[in-house]
Amino acid sequence: MKIQIRKGRKEDLKSVLNLIKELAEYENAIDEVTITLKELETDGFGDSQHYKFLVAEIDEKIIGLSFYWFRYSTWKGKFLFLEDFIVMEKYRRTGVGSKLFEATIKICKDLKMNGMCWQVLDWNKNAIEFYNKYNAEISNSWLNGKLTKKQIANFKYHY
C-alpha cells in the first residue's frame, strides 16, 4: 500500500467535503455541517485563501485529510491551527494518519511557526492516544466559545 501525501487542490474539494462529513458523522454532529462545496472553493481558492489542506492518497483515491489555517496568538505568535484531521475508517491504524500528521508538523517547521494546535473531543480516546504518541499537550482547562452566523445576524447592539 503506497501512501502519498500532497498539498490539496481545488479539484479535491468534493472528496474533502465527504471527509468533513465523515468526521462530523463520527462525532455525532452531521447536522452541524452547513458548509457547501461552493463556499469551500471560494474560501480556499478565491481572492483570499482562508485555509490550506493536505491529502493522503492511495492509488489516487483521497483517504485522509489535514485541514488547517494560520492563527496568531498575542502570547506566542504564529500557530498552525489543525481544524480537521481525518483518515477514512478502513485505513486507520495503517500508518496513514502518522504520515499525514507528520507532514503537517513539517509545514509548521518549514514556515517557522511557533507551534501547532487543535481540538479533540474528550471522549475520542483513539485520537487522544494518537496525539499522545507525539507528546502533545491535551488541555482540559480551556472551554470553547463561539457565536454562530445566525446569532450574529440576530444580535442587537447596545451602544
Nearest by Cα to 22 from 83, 85, 78, 79 = 85
Q: Are 81 and 70 in contact (CB under 8 A)?
A: yes
Q: Are 99 and 3 in contact (CB under 8 A)?
A: yes
Residue 131 annotated as catalytic: yes
Please pick, among 26, 72, 91, 131, the residue that the annotation labels catalytic. 131
Strand pairing class (61-73; 3-7): unpaired
Q: Is the dihedral of CA 30, 21, 105, 49 positive or negative?
A: negative
On the CB side of 85, how many CA atoms lie within 13 Å of its CA?
28
Nearest by Cα to 38 from 62, 69, 14 = 14
Whose cell is 502518522? That residue is 98
Specify the DSSP element, H or E, that contains 46. Answer: none
- Catalytic residue numbers read 131
